[in-house]
Every structure is written in C-alpha cells, then in structure tokens.
Amino acid sequence: MALPLKYNIRNVLVRWRSTVTTVLGIALVVAVYVLMQAMAAGIEKSGANTGSPDNLILVRKGSTSESSSLVTREQLRSLVYSPEIARNTAGEPLVTADVLVLLNLPRRDGAGEANVTLRGVSPRGREMRGQVRLMEGRWFEPGHREVVVSQRLAARFAGFELGGTFKSGPATYRVVGHSDCGKSAFDSEIWMDVDEVCAIFDREQYSSFLVRPTNPAAATNLMQRLDLDKRLQLQARVESQYYSEQTGTAKPIQWLGNFLAVSMSVGAIFAAMNTMYAAIGSRTREIGTLRVLGFRRRTVVASFLLEGAFLASLGGILGSLLSLVMNGYAVGTLNFATFSESVFEFRITPYLMLKGVIFSIVVGLVGSLLPAVRASRLPVISALKSL
C-alpha cells in the first residue's frame, strides 16, 4: 500500500527551515536557467520579426551575412529591369542597395565601447521596409551627414539623443530622428543615406540588394535564375527567412545557459540530498514504524522521492516566477554574425517556465534518490530503538 500524500506535506511543513533553504537554492538555479533560455528566445524572436516575406535579399555567393558580402553596381544595373521585379506607384522598380559599416562607439553609461552597425539605405529601401517607422524628428537628408537611430539603440549609446552628435572615423554625425523597428534586428542599426556612406568610407561596392518580386512565382523564378547565373554570382533568400537564420548568437547563449544550469544543479542536488538525509536522521524511528506497519521498501523509496520532487517543484515554480521580473527587459549582446551590438528583449514564455519546473523536478528526484534508498534499507529493529 502507498503512503498518503499528506504525510509528506506535513513532514515538509514541520522541517520548514531546511525546506525554505532547499526551495530557495533550487529557485535560484531555475531562475538562471530560465533567464538564459529567455535571452536566446529574445534573440531568435528579434530575427523572426525582421524583414518581409514579400522581399528577397541578395548577397554574394558564398557569403554568410550582409557584412561579409560585396556586390557591384554593375550587378545592380543588371537586376533593375528584371521582369520578375515589381514596381511602385510611380513606376519605379522596387530594387535598392544597402551598405553595412561597423562603427566603434562609446556606451551611454560610460562602460566602454561597442561596435554598432551603420546601414546605408536609399529612400526606396525605407519604402520597402514598412516595419521601420519614424517616431521622433525627421528622416535624414543626403549630404548633411545626418542619421536616424532606433529608440532602443538611443538609450544605450552616447550622443544618440535627438539632435545629438557623435564621431566615428573620418566624420561627425548628427541624429535627426528616432525610429521604432518593431522589435526587429533593425533596432540594432543606425540608418544613413547609402550614397553618403559610400562617399565617407570610400566604398565602391554595396553589401546587399533588396528586391520585391511581383508575386511568389516570380520570386521562385528569380531565385532559380540567379542560382544558375554564373555571371552575376548572387544568391537570393526570402528576407524574413534570411534574418531568422542570422540569429546564430542565440545558440552560444543556449549552450551557456544549459552549462550553467548543469553546473548549478550539482549544488542544488547536494542541497536536496542534505535535506533528505537530515529528514532521514530525524525520522529514523518513524521509518522503522512504517516498516513494522507493513509498508514495503519500495513504498518508502517512492515516498521520499515524492517528497524531494515536491520540494523541488516548489523551487521551480518560485524560480520561474522570479524570472518574470525580467520579461520584456531590453538588453544588448554581441552578434557573432556581424560582430556588432544586438539589442533584444528577454522573452519568458509559458513553455520556458514549464521547462524550468520540469528541470527542478529532475533535480529533486536525483537529489532524493540516494537518501530514499538509504531510508528503505534501515534495519527495522535498529530504527525503532533510535532516539
């Protein structure tokens, strides 16, 4: 027969000091685990929010990202009048070229410097990226070294306030507008006129092209044609899919989160073991009485495992709730694809919280296993004689 659940709950309440210590220890482990996973989820969400499925991004064949790609003006001219490309209301083909440059800039809080991506875009490029909206100020004018920065980036770097200036390389730039980029990868960029960026940094080539096909069939035809064209040496991807695949930064953070969780779980397992061993020491006669009453060894083992899992689940729930404090908090990290600052939000989802609770239960079961086996093997007579 099985021991009633209220037996374990009452024992946990009686030893409330050791219970609180164990629950808090496991809660901290789970909170760290959930937060690290939430960072990775935030980076992945930032990439998934970027771009439009109606656009194609074109980079040089063999390049892993825009920052490592070089495409020429001749290639641009050969694409402009392709039959697959749509036109705007003015009859202009929806094709644009971008240039990406890294600037090393000081942080607003004075904590060192970081690389920031400067993207040179054309008016048509802004037209094709409807998710980027101007919130304050105005758009930059060519020839005046004016830039527009995202609101999130403005909160992190010096001189990014509206009307502020900052210097990098051969030029001083003035911030004339703040944008909202819909929590996308564009939140981590400074935007400036593409021709002006080329002139300042002496760039004769672009980093990528952005095109909008007339329909999905035209997009497929254009991608296939470019793949077979040995002269152009370009590869095309759906823009939204391209940016989703650029979130390689999330993988190291996930690995780090798992490593930290495993490392810290060792301490949590020992804390659970100490609690359960202490419980056995204080309940030796009680365990002997249970055996005399007819409860089998496996019943005693199951009871202690259940008690450990219950304690750990409390810690898991508490840790998951503690991590919610950081939900939606914007932070920045190094993007390993571009080696620049990437701004994103912690995304704590119900799925991540459930993973945290399951992780805590596993810790509780592992930590309770040896004490439970020891309790079941106590000699009945010796246990009854103990004080």
Shared domain check, 197 and 67: yes
Quick check: pTM over 0.75?
no
Find the length of the chain: 387
55 found inside a domain: no
Shared domain check, 117 and 66: yes
Cα–Cα distance, 283 to 375 (Å, whole number): 9
Residue with tokens 């009945």, as numbered in its chain: 380
Q: Which of 45-54, 300-309, 316-325, 333-342 has the lowest mean pLDDT?
A: 333-342
Shared domain check, 217 and 304: no
- Choosing from 232, 259, 294, the residue where a domain stops is 232
Shared domain check, 265 and 206: no
Tell me the two tokens of residue 1: 């027969």
Shared domain check, 218 and 88: yes
Provide the residue range defining the domain that includes 212. Answer: 62-232
Average pLDDT over residues 132-138: 92
How confident is the model at residue 293, as a pLDDT? 64
- Choosing from 208, 232, 256, the residue where a domain stops is 232
- Choosing from 179, 207, 232, the residue where a domain stops is 232
53 found inside a domain: no
Cα–Cα distance, 189 to 361 (Å, whole number): 42
Shared domain check, 152 and 80: yes
Q: Which residues pair with 179 in a beta bridge?
A: 134, 150
Shared domain check, 118 and 208: yes
Q: How many structural domains compose the chain?
A: 2
286 found inside a domain: yes
Shared domain check, 371 and 262: yes
242 found inside a domain: no
Shared domain check, 326 and 206: no
Shared domain check, 376 and 325: yes
240 found inside a domain: no
For 204-234, write each residue's pLDDT tens digit: 899 999 999 999 999 999 999 888 888 888 9
Burial class (CB in 10 A: 0-12, 13-18, 19+), 104: exposed
Q: Is 163 in contact with 175 (CB distance < 8 Å)? A: yes
Tell me the two tokens of residue 128: 């094709």
Q: Is 95 in contact with 213 (CB distance < 8 Å)? A: no
Confidence of residue 253 (pLDDT cuts 50, 70, 90): low
